[in-house]
């Protein structure tokens, strides 16, 4: 039986992670936060002193990545476990995001993680969020969304999030980082960040997450 997959792609800070969680909970579907895989790989590379330009070693590290997602209580959400250690907090820093986008630009790394991502698809269904869920990983997905927002708005949201989590943050620095990560994610040769041809593009700059959710649910109803 074909597993229904819903893909939500977009740049960092577009709200796709929050949206994916909402939709997965609503439908009782599994959730794939594909960015977490690249974030964990980046942290594994730093931990084992693998140079971020050593493509062969990074691809090997991706192949053998000892990563688990552990569903804990609802409040804490999903725990991310690397080699037995809880790295859930460590992978959420802006630095970890930047490291992730460096290793994610390597084609052999992406190939190594492809099957692992597809294995998340199981009944009753999957909501997958990332950069290339609709274009590369699940090209035959039942419904595809591309969520975007202006760089300024995304930097502002990211700043608020970091402060709420107790991290230090500077808005102008974050805006620069957001723009740098966009450029790297959109400019890379493999699986660049772009909407799939059959994706519904939603701009959340002026919308609340609730308004975005409504549009997604409407589209899902339309598709049946």
Binding site for ligand C5P (CB under 6 A): 12, 34-35, 38-39, 97, 100-101, 104, 130-133, 181, 185
Residue (76 or 224) nearer to ligand C5P, CB: 76
**Closest separation between CB of residue 14 and ligand C5P, Å?**
9
- What are the respective helix, strand and coil percentages of the chain, to the nearest 5? 50, 15, 35
**Closest separation between CB of residue 1 and ligand C5P, Å?**
25
Residue (47 or 194) nearer to ligand C5P, CB: 194
Residue (101 or 204) nearer to ligand C5P, CB: 101
The residues, any chain, with a CB within 8 Å of residue 69's CB and separated by 6 or more, are: 36, 78, 79, 80, 81
Asked if residue 112 has a cis previous peptide bond (ω within 30° of 0), the answer is no
State the residue number with the nearest CB to ligand C5P. Answer: 35
Find, among 140, 101, 145, 146, the residue nearest to 121 by Cα.
140
Q: 34 to each of 67, 76, 147, how far by Cα in Å?
A: 12, 19, 15
**Closest separation between CB of residue 160 and ligand C5P, Å?**
16
**Closest separation between CB of residue 155 and ligand C5P, Å?**
13
The residues, any chain, with a CB within 8 Å of residue 92's CB and separated by 6 or more, are: 39, 165
Residue (1 or 112) nearer to ligand C5P, CB: 112
Residue (4 or 177) nearer to ligand C5P, CB: 177
**Closest separation between CB of residue 6 and ligand C5P, Å?**
14
Token pair 């591309």 is found at 146
């Amino acid at each position: 039986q074909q597993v229904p997959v819903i893909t939500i792609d977009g740049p960092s800070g577009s709200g796709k992670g929050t949206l994916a969680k909402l939709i997965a909970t609503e439908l009782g579907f599994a959730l794939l936060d594909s960015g977490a895989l690249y974030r964990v790989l980046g942290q594994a590379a730093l931990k084992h002193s693998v140079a971020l330009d050593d493509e062969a070693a990074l691809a090997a590290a991706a192949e053998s990545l000892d990563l688990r997602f552990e569903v804990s209580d609802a409040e804490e959400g999903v725990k991310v476990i690397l080699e037995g250690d809880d790295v859930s907090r460590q992978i959420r820093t802006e630095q970890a995001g930047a490291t992730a986008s460096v290793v994610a630009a390597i084609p052999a790394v992406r190939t190594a993680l492809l099957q692992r991502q597809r294995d998340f698809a199981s009944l009753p269904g999957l909501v997958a969020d990332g950069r290339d869920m609709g274009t590369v990983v699940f090209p035959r997905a039942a419904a595809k969304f591309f969520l975007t927002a202006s760089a300024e708005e995304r930097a502002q949201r990211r700043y608020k999030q970091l402060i709420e989590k107790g991290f230090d943050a500077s808005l102008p620095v974050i805006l620069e980082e957001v723009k740098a990560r966009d450029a790297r994610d959109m400019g890379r040769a493999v699986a660049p960040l772009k909407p799939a041809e059959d994706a519904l593009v939603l701009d959340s700059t002026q919308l609340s997450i609730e308004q975005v959710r409504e549009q997604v649910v409407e589209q899902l109803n339309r598709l049946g």
